[in-house]
Amino acid sequence: MASSNGPSFLTFNGKKYHPSLEWNEEEGLLRDPKTHAPYSKKDFNTLFQALLNRDTNEYKDLQLLLTLSKQFWDTTCTFHFPGIGEVMLTPYDFLAITSFRLGGERIKVNDFITLKETKSLLVVMPSKMKSKNVFLIWLYTNIENCKTAATGTRMIMLLFIGTLLCPDLGSTASLCYLWSLRDIGKIKNYDWGGMTYATILHFMTQLSRHSLSSLGGAPFVWQVRF
């Protein structure tokens, strides 16, 4: 709809409101109230207070991300702001912020990788594992002991996957990704950017549902975007 004072819209119940002047009380009706806490004008004001605060500190970043998650709709992977509308992290935004290329070959995994195959790719076996996951601290402390560039590259990639590209919040990296690291010359062909993009959206979804209390992946992407 349009009016002499600019565009206006109808709520789900037929109530007319002006998005730049009024708060649509039905803004959250498309979200499942059983999995998402309701948000209000107070949450929106808290978000913008954090945005306008020029001081850089850890608490501000945490406050910003937690408040931001309340505006997230996991049905569309977009944020909904009164007076603004939908805002999202597009693939182009992600590329501009991270320089990670989106697209490429599908990442190969092997959930049934054997100990023999693991040892052939890493040369040494991790001293302690959690199922088929290796602890990140083991990778970090053993990279400098690698005798070949191939082994070192695989360990660095596993560390990169476990800390940034696709972390599991358990301080481990899955050995199943070694299947994509067998030929280090082909590592660049896989869609690592797509993995990272999907991971940060997954964590924001879980945070918005209160299934998690913190963000994994690359939270700096959200901080730069907003």
- Per-residue pLDDT, averaged over 206-220, amounts to 82
- pLDDT for the residue 189: 96
- Per-residue pLDDT, averaged over 52-77, amounts to 70
Residue 79's DSSP bridge partners are: 72, 87
- pLDDT, the chain, mean: 78
Q: Which structure tokens are listed for 216?
A: 């994994």
- Provide the 3-class DSSP secondary structure of residue 141: helix
- Confidence category of residue 59, pLDDT binned at 50, 70, 90: very low
Order of all β-strands in the sheet with 72-73? 72-73, 78-81, 85-87
Other CB atoms within 10 A of residue 7 CB: 10
List, for residues 166-188, the tens digit of each pLDDT value: 998 788 999 999 999 999 999 99
Q: Which residues contact 134 (CB under 8 A, 6 or more apart)?
A: 126, 158, 172, 173, 175
Sign of torsion over alpha carbons 72, 70, 89, 160: negative
- Confidence category of residue 9, pLDDT binned at 50, 70, 90: very low
- How far is residue 10's CA from residue 28's CA, in Å, rounded to a whole number? 14
- Provide the 3-class DSSP secondary structure of residue 6: strand
Its pTM stands at 0.74
- How far is residue 204's CA from residue 212's CA, in Å, rounded to a whole number? 9
Rg from Cα positions in the chain: 22
Does residue 6 have a pLDDT over 50? no
- How far is residue 159's CA from residue 81's CA, in Å, rounded to a whole number? 36
Residue 81's DSSP bridge partners are: 85
List, for residues 73-119, the tens digit of each pLDDT value: 888 888 887 777 788 999 999 999 999 999 999 999 999 999 899 99
User: Would you tell me the crossing angle of helices 58-69 and 192-208 to the nearest 10 degrees?
Assistant: 80
First to last CA, the chain: 29
- Confidence category of residue 23, pLDDT binned at 50, 70, 90: very low
Tally of CA atoms within 13 A in the half-sphere of 26 that contains its CB: 9
